[in-house]
Amino acid sequence: MLKRVVITGIGGLCGLGTDASAIWSEMRAGRSAIGPIDNPLLHDLKVKIGCEIKALPEHGIDRKQLVSMDRFSLLAVIAAREAMQHSGLTAHADNTYRMGTIVGVGVCGFEAVEENYRAILIEKKNRAGIFTVPKVMPGAASGQVSMHLGLRGPVFGVTSACSSANHAIASAVDQIRLGRADVMVAGGTDAPLVWGVLKGWEALRVLSPDTCRPFSADRQGLILGEGAGMAVLESYDHAVARGATILAEIAGTGLSADASDIVAPTIEGPEAAMRFCLADAGLNPEDVDYLNAHGTGTKANDQIETAAIKRVFGEHAHSLSISSTKSMHAHCLGASGGLEMIACVMAIREGIVPPTANFREPDPDCDLDVTPNVARERKVRVAISNGFAFGGTNAVLAFKAV
């Protein structure tokens, strides 16, 4: 029998707030933090809208450590430390090799990349910064989290674009189920609000010129944001033995691939991931109360996700409460699933479904209950989080009350 895996701590920061409690408070209120990006280096962009963290919280990390960290790693460490403090766990000699971390990231260290290109190509310096390689490598965030928290168990990074955080959490569940660890710190991080990344997304012509309106008929595209969302995962037995407060159980995970197109999604891939997740969790479609949609705000994504939900949930699709919190924290790429995990856990804890903000017009192709603009009270026993990504890589998580 597979080990049960539970969440005992959460942490995060994004444009909505610099801790998980603040993020949830803004989600409940339906407040969007999307707005102009305050960065003079972005002067020639056509779209200068995003969701940025205006000021980092006091983190106490000294300069000697900071010089080896890109922003995406720093965000991961701050969120992971909050999650560990929330869980009441600390690493010590008796458990450090039974505790690990997996951090998902979409675009990784572009802040350091741009700093070095600017130094070499514009300022005509002779060499790159000494910590360039350890700052930009995709696994840097997981390594930094392990060092700051003293975790010596399974430690690695994963990258699958917009589903990276969900893949990281699913992989962490596997480590515990397989007996390789008792505790895993898992989630995602990204800091894509830099010139080169935004230029690339601008070229794709999927960025909205004003804000993110998932499922609304007048939606014009996605908005990028930065942030991190992390959770402490434990085996159920380990959490009970130490008297931990269990926030929710990760009941199941479902992974699939479209194997079709590098950017255009299919209905079949997301459908399969949702079906696999329900099967892994031992749940029927009608058991699900809330679905946190991938919901990017592009025409194609929202229509295809709606169609996939209908295939999986049948008539129950119209009884689901659905929302896209990207309407508030934007699309934080590798961090999105971590922030949406916070939404799912807190929806279960408080019986509140966060809304889809900025909604204006119903779309006949997206005709499910997307909780427009105002949060709703509803008993949530089971919540599903969808993560779909470029490359057709899909990861779905199921959370349930304990």
Q: Give catalytic residue positions.
A: 162, 294, 331
DSSP string, 242-269: TTPPP-EEEEEEEEEE--S-SS---SHH
Q: What are phi and psi of 2, to 5 degrees?
A: -70, 145
CA pair distance 21, 355, nearest whole angstrom: 17
Q: Are 239 and 246 in contact (CB under 8 A)?
A: yes
Token pair in block for residue 323: 């929302």
| Coil, helix or strand at residue 326 | helix
Checking DSSP bridges between strand 382-389 and strand 35-36, what pairing results, if any?
A: unpaired
DSSP string, 26-53: HHHHT----EE---GGGTT-S--EEB--
CA dist 247 to 70, 231, 313, Å? 31, 10, 26
CA pair distance 100, 117, nearest whole angstrom: 34
| Coil, helix or strand at residue 8 | strand
Give 96's contacts (C-beta < 8 A, 6+ positions apart). 150, 151, 152, 153
| CB neighbours of residue 166 within 10 Å | 37
Give which of 345, 336, 386 is closest to 165, Cα–Cα. 336
CA pair distance 166, 68, nearest whole angstrom: 26
CA pair distance 174, 2, nearest whole angstrom: 10
CA pair distance 15, 41, nearest whole angstrom: 19
Number of separate helices (H) and strands (E) present in the chain = 13, 14
Compute the 3-state secondary structure of the chain and give helix, strand, coil in percent, each to the nearest 5. Answer: 40, 20, 40
CA 143 from centroid of its chain's CA atoms: 19
Give which of 303, 296, 400 is closest to 345, Cα–Cα. 400
Amino acid occupying residue 90: T
Strand partners, 227: 14, 190
